[in-house]
Amino acid sequence: MVPKLFKYFDSCLAILFLSCVAFGQDQFVLKAEFSKEIFLEHEPIWVTVTLINTQDKPINVWNFDLGRGGLDYVVKDSVGNNVHHVEYVYDYFGSEPHTVVAGGDSLSKVGNLDLFRFGQLAIGQYTFQAITKAVVVLRDSSKNKIFSNLIHFSVVEPKGEEKKVEEILMRGWEARRHKNYQLEERLMLDIIKDYPKTVYAYRAYSDLYENYSFLSKQRSKEKDLLKTVVEEYPDDPMQNQLFPSFLSDVKSDYEKRQYLDSLVVHNNDNLQTRLAKKLLREYNRKEVK
């Protein structure tokens, strides 16, 4: 009788445990997405991580951000060794410590695994997984550790024209290391002008923006570059950083709204339009308050 009672009790505990696990999995989904599976060496590797609230009720999410410790990006090599942790993310919307996510809604972060050349990924096979340690408030405060789907991707050696452009890019990085910002500027401009369709043109814009913003401090050139990138790359993940910076140069709120309205009216299916719609919703909420 006693063994049967213990067996029954153990079964109840197991069911209760599985129910709790299922509850956590059913309420929140962490989804990771890459734009493709094969990248060239030194090519930017963008990832979008989305926390989805699959229940009907709103939830409070705390610190869903790489910089705030609520989100980790883990990259492992082909034998399972940890090779990369990303500690910085380009993100503008929803980066405050506490964010309310309505039922059926989601919260996304866009990051770059190869940003600013720290922790460069060598040629090889890799897996990516995001982990959130955000504090999610339901009936009471509880910490949830949720793992995203696993993504397999490769970094391969560039060839042909791409290899030639990569070499120019590397020369630019070497110039920066020696604080020769004029040479770096010239090399990045050569890539943008002569090889605008290569994957490294995007990287050249990013490096040039750093040069103008933080190194050589050429404010007028920074503004012109911002305008070019915002207009030429409306669906590029770099919009998450540069679009808000571009808007900050617009003097009045009225002018900002006019510009955002002009983007939304055309209703193009790109990242810039989605950011414009989100910003307009933020403005409208502030006006209601």
Q: Is residue 17 part of a domain?
A: no
Cα 46 to Cα 91: distance, rounded to the nearest angstrom: 12
Residue 258 has pLDDT above 80, yes or no: yes
Q: Is residue 248 part of a domain?
A: yes
The domain containing residue 264 runs over which residues?
Answer: 161-288
CATH value at residue 144: 2.60.40.2970
Q: Is residue 7 part of a domain?
A: no
Q: What is the total count of domains within the chain?
A: 2
Q: Is residue 6 part of a domain?
A: no
Its pTM stands at: 0.72
Looking at the fold, whether 68 and 113 belong to one and the same domain comes out as yes
Q: Is residue 174 part of a domain?
A: yes
Looking at the fold, whether 260 and 279 belong to one and the same domain comes out as yes
How confident is the model over 42-100, as pLDDT tens digits? 888 888 888 888 888 887 777 676 655 577 888 899 999 888 655 444 343 344 456 77
How confident is the model over 99-137, as pLDDT tens digits? 777 888 888 877 777 653 435 788 999 999 988 876 565
Q: Are 262 and 277 in contact (CB under 8 A)?
A: no
Looking at the fold, whether 35 and 112 belong to one and the same domain comes out as yes
Examine the fold and report which residue of 92, 124, 156 is the final residue of a domain before the chain moves on: 156
Q: How many CB atoms lie within 10 A of CB 139?
A: 6
